[in-house]
Each structure stands twice: as structure tokens, then as C-alpha cells.
Amino acid sequence: MPSSDGKLRVAIIGGGLAGATLMNALLKYSHLSPEIFESAPEFSERGAAVGIAQNGQAALAEIAPELAGALDRAGAVVMSSSRVRMASGPHTGALAFDLTGEQRGKVVHRKALLNELLEPIPKSRMHTSKKVTDIAQANDSATGPFKLHFQDGSSYIADAVIGADGVHGYVRTHILGADHPALKPKFGGFWDSRSLIPMEKAKELLGEHYFIEGDQRQHGWIGNGGFFMHDVLDGGKTVQCVACAQTNEEWGEDEWRRDLDREKLESTFSGWTESAIKRGMIENPELKAFAEWHHKIDAPTYAKGRVVMMGDAAHAMTPWQGSGAGQAIEDAMVLDALLGEVKEPKQLEAAFKAYDQVRRPRTQRIIASSHDVGMALCGRGSGGLDVEKLADLPPKWVFIHTQDQKEHIKGALEAMRSIV
């Protein structure tokens, strides 16, 4: 049975971008009572900047026009294009490709965007230090509500549970089982390191010609075994530099970062003509190499009964196609549409099955595609450092960026009705 006021209780587990976006979406429904639970002492996002391509922007607009405005309020900067050149090999200095037009995106600081998404959420519905340890039936009925148990000894009764708790969260374990081969993410074979530099300093270090007011671009360089890029965020006040490397080194299952000294950085990018890499990265006094993980083994489902997962909990992916945040937003868009149609608990399972049907094939395709693109951008794909073969990369983004979000929603609703 729903709560005493007749509303369906929806527990969102995880307070990052995925959970906060969905929470905003569900607040508009009078028949739902959503609550958001974060395991950490505060709501936060790890990492510097995130790119939201046009598919993600369109998904935010489908959820609510005012939600799409959160990007601009957070200081997002529109990239006129992503321009990629060769930094080593026989075609050093040559333009590999430009991602332009429909493939433009906005770059925004993760923390700033999360703060904007959290702003409309009533504080009474936001709960911190709530690490889920168990999801069990609240009574003897298999179709009854759940009782969520938290590490601090507290509990919560919910009609539906949505896991936005990342790759280390509990909800994926509940859905797949503790011994499932697809449970844990695998090291993707890449690490990356980031440095944030004030705009005026970046102009001095990297060159003013990269930062033309009104025509901001991402700039990238492909080299033997690595990739370097920089872009603009914080409304044009900050430049983010990112150095990435493909490696055959082993990373431990729980090893997410390593110290990165200047010697390691220089040896990784030795032979590169683009010295901006060193100048940009050494501005960070505490260089760290962060492992890129992904769900290499496809999960057979994203849902189990009235429990479902979204974002990195469902489909962690390497960042090479800039789609992690965008796919989490699309997840929220589809769940928003489906839960808007659910009026009683017995419809929840059909809604989550429909979500799984439309979201799993798309997101798992991107997981595989992103890894392949990463190998190519590090000069380790089938085309090596051949600039003519690398020029064939842009079409690999088309299926991601050009999706018709209204049709995607329509497909999910049709799937739900066929299941009911």
C-alpha cells in the first residue's frame, strides 16, 4: 500500500548529478513522494568539469525548461567545436578532425552544476550519511513496500527504490547479486589527470590564440599512447587541462588514483611536440592519476521488480565520448516520463522493465564505443597515428548526440503499456 496520504514513496539512493536530476524531475508530481539519500556527510561530486552534449541538454529540457537553465546558471561554457590535432607520429601538427554543429556541447564544473540542481530540492527531503546496507520487503507480501536499512541503524519504507549510487553503491548488488560477473567495473586501460588554471594564466602558458572570446573551443592532441586536451568552464574564468594515457599497467580492484610526479608525466608524453601539456599540467601542485573504470561486462538487466539503477550504478563508462553525465540525464528523463504515468504500486515493475528495455541497449553500446574511441585518441586504435584514418572518428558520436528524445520517451511509454 502507498503511504497514508496516498502517495507513492520513491527512495533515490545517491546524491550526485544523476540522483539530483531525477529528484528535480519527480518533485512536480502530486502522486509521488520522493526522498533522496546520500551516503556521504554532504552532497558532492568528484572531479573537475563535465561536458553536456546536445542530447543531454535536450533531455534536461524535456524534464523541465527551468532545469535546462541550471547549466547556464552554473557557468557552463558553449564549445564552438572540439578541434583535435596530431602531437606525434608522421603527421605531427596536422588537423585530425573538428566536432562541430550538432555535436557542440557545454562544459561546466561538476560541483557548480550539482549545487544548482540541489537548490530547488526541499531540505526536508535531502538526507546525508545514509549508506544503504540492505533492501528487504517490509512485510510478508512480495508486492509490498521495501524497508531500506542504513549503516547508521535507521530505516525507511519505500514503494520504489532507484539506485543512483555509483559504481560502489549497494543497489547494483541487490539487482544483480553479489557474485554476478557483471557486478563490478573493470579498469578500462586508461588514466587521466586534471589541472585547473585561471584564464589569464592559461593564456600566458598555452597561448592566447586558443581562447578567443565568443568562440571557445575544446582543443585536443593525439599522440603515441596518450591524449591531451583543454577546455573552458566557470563562465570563461577557468581553463581545464586534461592529460590522459593508455596503459597496460595493472590497477587494483579498489585503486582509483595514484600520485603522478613530473617525471612520470614527462615520460608518458615523451616525443610529443605539444609542450603545452607540461606547462598546463604542472600548474597543479598535487598531480594525481585517476583510473578510468567501466562496466566492461554487460549487465543482463538494470531492474529487479520495483528496484532500478541509473547513471554510473547501471552503466559506468570511460569518458572518451563525454557521455557519462548525459546518459545519467537521459535515464532521469525516461524515469520521469514513466513514473509520471504510475499511479499505484503494481505499475512500478512494468515501468522499470520498460526503462530497462529502452535504456540498457543504448548505454551499453556507448560503453563499448567510448572505449574504442579512447584507444583511437591515444594512437592505439587500428588506425594508429595515421591522420587520414583518424579523420573517420567523428561519425562515432552521431548516434549519441542526435537521438530524438521525444521519440525515446514515446518508446519507453509504449513499452510500459505493452507490459501492463
Given 85, 194, 306, 360, the catalytic residue: 194
- The amino acid sitting at 246 is Q
β 82-86/218-223 pair status: parallel
Residue 328 domain-assigned (yes or no): yes
Over the stretch 303-316, which tens digit does the pLDDT of each residue have?
999 999 999 999 99
Sole residue written with cell 585530425: 96
For a pLDDT cut of 90, what percent of the chain falls above it?
80
Residue 162 domain-assigned (yes or no): yes
If one counts the domains in the chain, the total is 1
Per-state percent for the chain, helix, strand, coil, to nearest 5: 40, 25, 35
Q: What is the mean pLDDT of residues 31-37?
A: 98
Residue 209 domain-assigned (yes or no): no
| pLDDT attached to residue 101 | 52
Residue 223 domain-assigned (yes or no): no
Residue 230 domain-assigned (yes or no): no
> Taking a C-beta distance cutoff of 8 angstroms, is the pair 136, 147 a contact?
yes
Report d(CA 319, CA 233) in Å as an integer: 17
Q: Hey, CA dihedral for 169, 170, 172, 173, is it positive or negative?
A: positive
E strand or H helix at 276: helix 276-281
State the helix-helix crossing angle for 17-26 and 110-118, rounded to 10 degrees: 20
- The amino acid sitting at 303 is A
| pLDDT attached to residue 253 | 87
CATH of the domain at 323: 3.50.50.60
E strand or H helix at 229: strand 226-233
| pLDDT attached to residue 327 | 98
Q: What is the mean pLDDT of residues 88-95?
A: 93
If DSSP codes are grouped into helix, strand and coil, which group holds residue 123?
A: helix
Report d(CA 30, CA 405) in Å as an integer: 24
Structural domain that includes position 336: 8-50+111-185+296-375
> Taking a C-beta distance cutoff of 8 angstroms, is the pair 3, 33 a contact?
yes
pLDDT surpasses 60 at 199 = yes
The Cα angle at residue 330 between residues 327 and 332, in degrees rounded to 5: 115
> Taking a C-beta distance cutoff of 8 angstroms, is the pair 10, 158 a contact?
yes
| pLDDT attached to residue 103 | 56
Residue 399 domain-assigned (yes or no): no
Active site residue 217: no
Residue 171 domain-assigned (yes or no): yes
Over the stretch 99-118, which tens digit does the pLDDT of each residue have?
875 456 899 999 999 999 99
Confidence of residue 3 (pLDDT cuts 50, 70, 90): low
Report d(CA 131, CA 72) in Å as an integer: 32
- The amino acid sitting at 244 is C
pLDDT surpasses 60 at 4 = no
Residue 280: HSE in the Cβ half-sphere, 13 Å Cα cutoff: 25
92-110 burial code (b ≥16 CB/10 A, e <16): beeebbbbeeebbbbbbbb
Over the stretch 287-300, which tens digit does the pLDDT of each residue have?
899 999 999 999 99
Residue 364 domain-assigned (yes or no): yes
E strand or H helix at 415: helix 405-419
β 186-198/32-37 pair status: unpaired
pLDDT surpasses 90 at 138 = no
Higher pLDDT, 271 or 148: 148
